Amino acid sequence: MLSTETIAISLASSLSKFISDRLGNVTTLAMTRILAAITYPLLYFVKSPVIFILINWVGTLFIAMDNVPEVSVISKMKTANLSMSLIDSVSTLLSISSPIIALYIWVNISPATVFLLSLLVIIPSILMFKYKVD
């Protein structure tokens, strides 16, 4: 499962960078936030651990789209983009384990806890969206 997630996140990152080059970083960021906001509340209603893992995995892909390596064909700032690419790659690798952690919290604590923790991640990012740079 770990290698499958790695491949899926890599594919999502490539697609996200293509979309970001076409639509702009802010639009892509808004799309990922909306899709994550739809995905994570579904976790509260799920009773099956398998469906929980699938929904959380899809949510992880949307979050991984934010961690796109910033090596853009259009960009002229290659040194800054290379450093951002390294930072985002490490961030993406760390986010791979999030479905397993969320499942552990869901089983041992409660589904509501996962939902509330997801809100703690999404709400500040939505509030900071007004400070966009594009």
Q: What is the pLDDT of residues 69-119, one digit of tens each?
A: 444 444 555 555 555 666 666 666 666 667 777 788 888 998 888 778 777
pLDDT at 69: 46
Per-residue model confidence as pLDDT tens digits over 9-58 = 555 666 666 666 677 666 767 777 777 777 777 777 888 877 877 777 76
pLDDT on residue 104: 84
- Total domain count for the chain? 1
Report DSSP state, residue 55.
Answer: H
Structure confidence at residue 125 (pLDDT): 66
User: What is the predicted pLDDT for the residue at 37?
Assistant: 76
pTM of the model: 0.37
Q: What residues make up the domain containing 6?
A: 2-131
Q: What totals of helices (H) and strands (E) does the chain contain, helices first?
A: 6, 0
Q: State how far the alpha carbon of 129 is from the alpha carbons of 3, 31, 60, 133, in Å.
A: 32, 12, 19, 9
